[in-house]
Structure 1
Amino acid sequence: MSADTEDQVQLLENLPEIMEKLTEELKELYKYRDLFFENHPLDMAYKKNKCVEEKKELLVEKFEAIDVETQIPFSLRAEFLYMKGRCYNVSPTYDPRATQCLSKAIKLNPHLVAAWNELGECYLKNLNVKEAKASFEGALKHERNRLSLRCLSIILRHEIGDMKRSESTPIILKSVDLAKEAVAQDIKDGISWTVLGNAYLCQFFMVAQDPCTLKLCMSAYKQAWTDPVAKGQPDLFYNKGVALKYEECYGEALQMFEHACRLDPAWVPPRVERSALASFLAAATALVRTRGKLKAKRLANMIQSIDKKTMLGDYGSGAFHNFGPRRDVVLEHVRIDQLQEGPNEGKVILGRVVGSIHNENAVPFTFALIDESMQCVCVTVYNWADGRGALIGDAVAVPEPGLAAHRHQHFEFKSIRVNNPMFLLVNGKRVGRHQFASTRVTSTYEIH
């Protein structure tokens, strides 16, 4: 018997120990990747992928040194190929070798749920959403498990595209239910909590802008924070930044985008969002400070020409109005400088538009308003149909304005948020229903 044959016989005899050792090393490889920032400073973020790849290749050599067909018994081949495929798949980018191994593993053992899920992850990395969905659904046929559930939640939201609200609403709600079921499988899994937070964020903007939904979103992100694996993922910080931006907590949103950039310096979306938000805040600060750069004479003429009786319309007539759950509200006209920070129930302001801010995604439509107090304030309007909005010189009445002050490093201004443009009066006329368009959020980058 040759030395090679002796080595082969010895390998077969020690196979259980070898499989156990490979399993442990694979577990350590994923632990090294997932908890990288628990053991390394953020300054090493740009080296993370390279460090993981180096460790991956060392383990790959051990897997590839074993001939599956001749050295692994048939009963263990599916498990071995799954482990080998999972080793290839530790990279953030698609590795076709992983798909090959995992596809073979499933053919050998269609009941191997972990292999179905890993194959689905491969397809997602390759942006093959259709095959990824089939893989996760294949896993669920054999076992309800959190990984399949949360990935299908992501895919359902990805498939919505440009559907009408009536078509997309049941899909979004199903996405939320799948994410909730994933969390219920293991309430300590921060990745599942992150996916649930993203699902709630999508529901908030595309189903109904219920503040309770946004509260559930933030609560889910808070739960994710307790898991060191989730806390090391840039997605969590990025998506929370998106939520904070729409809550108009701008300083915190910038911090989230900044941290996402530090966790993954090569990932473009957080850098784009951070830059866009910083530009918006600088533009808002300048617009308010300069009052739209309009000359004093023009400003004076604009303000003096405001006809309160006509331009306040129903809001100035002493009529009763309904605002959400509040009924029979009578509004009192006040100047902008008389507003308090926070809600100003029972009040209405009227001013002229002195400028607006160009926003790439048109959300929110933002303009600056000034009245006889000469105080200027930004008005951020959500759900205003693209191409609509107030023009310079328009007289705008805002009922029950909620005033917020924004101060953070290089920006400082006050703003009023309007979720429903149909509450506004523009030149004495109420904004029509045809100008309402639900805000659509497409920036939760769960599928890169």
Structure 2
Amino acid sequence: MSNKQAKEAEDPMGKATIAVEDLYHIQDTYFPTNPDDKISKLQKESDLALNLLDSVPQEQRKSPLQRATYEYLRGKILDVFPDYRKEAEDHLSKAVKLNPSLADAWLCLGNCIWKKGDLSSAKNCFTLALSKGPNKKILCQLSMLERRMAQGTENEAELVEESIQHAKEAITLDVKDGNSWYNLGNACLTSFFVTGAWDHSKLQQSSKAYQNAEKDDRMKSNPDLYFNCATVNKYLENYERALSGFEAAALKDPGLNATEKVQKMVNLLDKLENMLRGHARSKRLASLSSSLAAVNLNSSYKRATIDLLLDGLNKAVAVVGKVLFFIKHDDVAPLYYLLCDSNQICFILSVYGIHSDTIKEGDQLTLLEPYYRHFDFSWKEKGLTSKKIVNNFNLPICLPSIKELREVIIYAIKLSSILY
């Protein structure tokens, strides 16, 4: 315990302050299987915190500053629950009137009003709080609120960009703060969706921010961090990382729908694998691919087939393919297609940044500088055996074996790559 904490623990107001901090620690880290258990625990601990606050002698509540602190702590205790409570707003409003310089009270009041649905007033509170001086917590809340306010507006992408800028400002105040990095990751992930779900760089920025957030030990108790990071990895097609991330999130908070996400991912991989299996020896391939060799290419590109590609970006290389099927699945990105090349080799093409009706079955595509990925799910080497994942998520399925997935090939290409 630091000297400051020891001093706080000696007086009633200090004890109440510590109790409030402990109360919010429960809010941030306690995720029982039954959500009602969390509400019950918060109710019990908030009652104890209120009793401690009421034990503060009247003579220590007389000055405007003392009274403001008392009202702030009381409002914050009452606001610990997920639903809006007018009593909490009343006490917090009194606190900022008694001491307009109390930035934490403005922050808490903004959060309280946000629950009521008055987003513009909540933003005013955060802005007033920031006027008292730079504060990473307030910047993060303002960033979150801006993303919420952006939903459904005509300038949604612009507002989300403002959210990203405030998230970055918070990081400049404390580059080691995991919550600020986590908030930036969320902002970049939101930007990925509102700008059309095609920009790989947004996903990569989000992933990097989440990785930095994980370096802060305080964030290890945040299940949403693991869940959101797994979501990004799913869209980046880093399926092994996504599976382990959803697993970690589910263990920390059973209330998250991580099991559903895993189920969808495994179903998708099964579908891709079955598509390849089902058409690899199709008699139609010879007639479908017969015209591909005659397609003229720009002299800047070397013609190649799937079996000649190297892992990663294949510069100055082009692959000509015929679209056999559009593979439907539940997520917005990427889009998956089954193609064959001039050697009658089937492969999966994944594309970001286009509408589902842009590419049609029967189309001939020239893939410029394709990015090659060969999926090999070595579950045992990674410590994520099929049995472990199935048991943890209670899935009535078997994950594909390494052998079954050895031919799954994915391309991630930019829109310009198919317009040649």
Structure 2-normalised TM-score?
0.79
* Corresponding residue number in structure 2 for 1:84: 74
Alignment partner for residue 239 of structure 1, among 228, 231, 249? 228
- Contact (CA 8 Å) 1:335, 1:371: kept in 2 or not? yes
- Which 5+ residue runs of structure 1 have no aligned equivalent? 1-15, 320-329, 431-448
Q: Is the partner of 2:96 in helix, strand or coil?
A: helix
* Corresponding residue number in structure 2 for 1:443: none
- Which 5+ residue runs of structure 2 have no aligned equivalent? 1-9, 378-385, 387-398
Cα distance in 2 for residues equivalent to 1:371 and 1:406: 19
- Cα shift at 1:288: 2.0
- Cα shift at 1:194: 0.8
- Contact (CA 8 Å) 1:120, 1:131: kept in 2 or not? yes
Q: Deviations over 1:206-262 (max 9, x none)?
A: 679777665544333222113233221122112212322232211111222232232
* Corresponding residue number in structure 1 for 2:112: 122
Q: Deviations over 1:252-279 (max 9, x none)?
A: 11222232232222234x4554443333
Structure 2 counterparts to residues 16-27 of structure 1, below 5 A = 17-27=11-21
**Which has the greater radius of gyration?**
1
Q: Deviations over 1:122-165 (max 9, x none)?
A: 2344554333212211212222211211111222233333556x
- Cα shift at 1:65: 7.4
* Corresponding residue number in structure 2 for 1:388: 357
2:215 counterpart of 1:226: yes
Alignment partner for residue 303 of structure 2, among 333, 344, 359? 333
The structure-2 alpha-carbon separation of the partners of 1:158 and 1:29, relative to structure 1 and needing over 3 Å to count, comes to closer
The structure-2 alpha-carbon separation of the partners of 1:34 and 1:179, relative to structure 1 and needing over 3 Å to count, comes to same
Alignment partner for residue 135 of structure 2, among 124, 136, 145? 145
The structure-2 alpha-carbon separation of the partners of 1:157 and 1:29, relative to structure 1 and needing over 3 Å to count, comes to closer
* Corresponding residue number in structure 1 for 2:369: 400
The structure-2 alpha-carbon separation of the partners of 1:18 and 1:234, relative to structure 1 and needing over 3 Å to count, comes to same
The structure-2 alpha-carbon separation of the partners of 1:109 and 1:226, relative to structure 1 and needing over 3 Å to count, comes to same
- Contact (CA 8 Å) 1:250, 1:406: kept in 2 or not? no
Comparing 53-62 with 248-257, which one deviates more in the overlay? 53-62
Q: Is the partner of 1:159 in helix, strand or coil?
A: helix
* Corresponding residue number in structure 1 for 2:285: 299
2:339 counterpart of 1:374: no
Cα distance in 2 for residues equivalent to 1:122 and 1:271: 32
* Corresponding residue number in structure 1 for 2:392: none
The structure-2 alpha-carbon separation of the partners of 1:252 and 1:48, relative to structure 1 and needing over 3 Å to count, comes to farther
Number of residues of Structure 1 aligned to a counterpart in Structure 2: 383
Comparing 105-114 with 208-217, which one deviates more in the overlay? 208-217
Structure 2 counterparts to residues 247-258 of structure 1, below 5 A = 247-258=236-247
The structure-2 alpha-carbon separation of the partners of 1:21 and 1:64, relative to structure 1 and needing over 3 Å to count, comes to closer
The structure-2 alpha-carbon separation of the partners of 1:158 and 1:25, relative to structure 1 and needing over 3 Å to count, comes to closer
* Corresponding residue number in structure 1 for 2:172: 184
Letter in 2 for 1:401: P
Letter in 2 for 1:193: W
Q: Deviations over 1:167-217 (max 9, x none)?
A: 555544432321122122233321112112233444566679777665544
- Contact (CA 8 Å) 1:46, 1:264: kept in 2 or not? no
Letter in 1 for 2:411: I
Cα distance in 1 for residues equivalent to 2:275 and 2:94: 61
- Contact (CA 8 Å) 2:199, 2:352: kept in 1 or not? no
User: Could you say what the CA RMSD is over the residues aligned between the two structures, in angstroms?
Assistant: 3.4
Letter in 2 for 1:388: D
The structure-2 alpha-carbon separation of the partners of 1:18 and 1:242, relative to structure 1 and needing over 3 Å to count, comes to same
- Cα shift at 1:400: 1.6
Cα distance in 1 for residues equivalent to 2:260 and 2:118: 25
Q: Deviations over 1:335-372 (max 9, x none)?
A: 22222222222222222222222233432111011134
* Corresponding residue number in structure 2 for 1:423: 417
Cα distance in 1 for residues equivalent to 2:28 and 2:217: 8
Structure 1-normalised TM-score?
0.74
The structure-2 alpha-carbon separation of the partners of 1:407 and 1:307, relative to structure 1 and needing over 3 Å to count, comes to closer
Letter in 2 for 1:418: I
- Contact (CA 8 Å) 1:145, 1:185: kept in 2 or not? yes
- Contact (CA 8 Å) 1:45, 1:262: kept in 2 or not? no
- Cα shift at 1:116: 0.9
Cα distance in 2 for residues equivalent to 1:291 and 1:98: 63
- Contact (CA 8 Å) 1:334, 1:348: kept in 2 or not? yes
- Cα shift at 1:52: 4.0
Cα distance in 2 for residues equivalent to 1:228 and 1:33: 17
Structure 2 counterparts to residues 307-322 of structure 1, below 5 A = 307-309=292-294, 312=295, 316-319=296-299
Cα distance in 2 for residues equivalent to 1:353 and 1:418: 15
- Contact (CA 8 Å) 2:250, 2:256: kept in 1 or not? yes
2:331 counterpart of 1:346: no
- Contact (CA 8 Å) 1:45, 1:264: kept in 2 or not? no
The structure-2 alpha-carbon separation of the partners of 1:226 and 1:51, relative to structure 1 and needing over 3 Å to count, comes to farther
Cα distance in 2 for residues equivalent to 1:215 and 1:130: 31
Alignment partner for residue 105 of structure 1, among 92, 95, 103? 95
